[in-house]
């Protein structure tokens, strides 16, 4: 099994705090996207087909094997009928 986002974050403790914040935000977005895919009963292949990616790419993103670009995160979220909201730093980044 591939490493989870939590395991990936532990490996990355040595990187600079700004980059860590970026990765944490991406991890939160990817986790929300993964939960939504499961809620909808979609397979990784179904999501991949909707956004023009390979199933293996979806698996790597969900398992923390690759850090997706923002445009990819947006494509995934929109395909799942989600919108992204940004809030003040005292609140968590949310995807609804």
pLDDT, tens digit, for every residue of 14-54? 678 888 888 888 999 999 999 999 999 999 999 999 999 99
Query: What residue spans of 1-96 are helical by DSSP H?
Result: 5-11, 17-40, 44-51, 55-62, 70-79
Token readout for 68 is: 């997706």
Q: Give the model's pLDDT for residue 74.
A: 95
pLDDT band at 1 (very low <50, low <70, confident <90, very high): very low
Q: Is the pLDDT of residue 60 over 70?
A: yes
Token readout for 65 is: 């094997």
Burial of 6 (0-12, 13-18, 19+ CB in 10 A): exposed
Q: Give the model's pLDDT for residue 15.
A: 75
Q: Give the model's pLDDT for residue 45.
A: 98
Q: Percent of the chain having pLDDT more than 90?
A: 54
Comparing 78 with 20, the larger pLDDT belongs to: 78
């Amino acid at each position: 099994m591939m490493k989870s986002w939590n395991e990936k974050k532990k490996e990355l403790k040595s990187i600079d705090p700004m980059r860590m914040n970026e990765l944490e935000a991406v991890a939160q977005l990817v986790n929300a996207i993964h939960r939504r895919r499961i809620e909808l009963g979609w397979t990784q292949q179904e999501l991949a087909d909707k956004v023009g990616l390979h199933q293996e790419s979806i698996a790597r993103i969900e398992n923390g094997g690759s850090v997706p670009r923002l445009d990819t995160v947006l494509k995934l979220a929109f395909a799942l009928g989600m919108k992204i909201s940004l809030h003040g730093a005292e609140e968590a980044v949310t995807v609804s």
